[in-house]
Amino acid sequence: MQEQLEQLSTVNAPWAAQRAQYALQVAQAVQQGQLSPSEAKEILADLINVDKLNQDAHDAEMRAALVFGVTQLAMMLG
């Protein structure tokens, strides 16, 4: 899951790379006690908000990978 986000963070699609990087930063902030799991879940949910994501995402496979990775990360946070 986190590996998938790490891979997406380096792709040549700014909309996916930025969201994946941000998701990883959110997870790190939770681990460091800078964010609560509930705050992180709200942020992660916003990252994959369907309306916003559909405006930017042109690659369905990459969009699905991002949604899956972020959803799995949110589930692991508690």
pLDDT tens for residues 14-24?
999 999 999 99
Q: 10 Å Cβ neighbour count for 53?
A: 18
Model confidence band, residue 8 (pLDDT cutoffs 50, 70, 90): very high
Q: What are the pLDDT digits (tens) for 34-77?
A: 999 999 999 999 988 877 777 778 788 899 999 999 999 999 88
18: domain range?
2-76
**Given this model, what pLDDT does residue 1 score?**
61
Domain count, the chain: 1
Residue 53 · residue 13 · CB < 8 Å: no
The answer to whether residues 22 and 47 touch, using CB atoms and an 8 Å cutoff, is yes
pLDDT digits (tens, 9 = 90+) for 25-46: 999 999 999 999 999 999 999 9
Query: Closest by alpha carbon to 73, among 33, 21, 34, 16?
Result: 21
Q: How far apart are CA 32 and CA 38, in angstroms?
A: 14
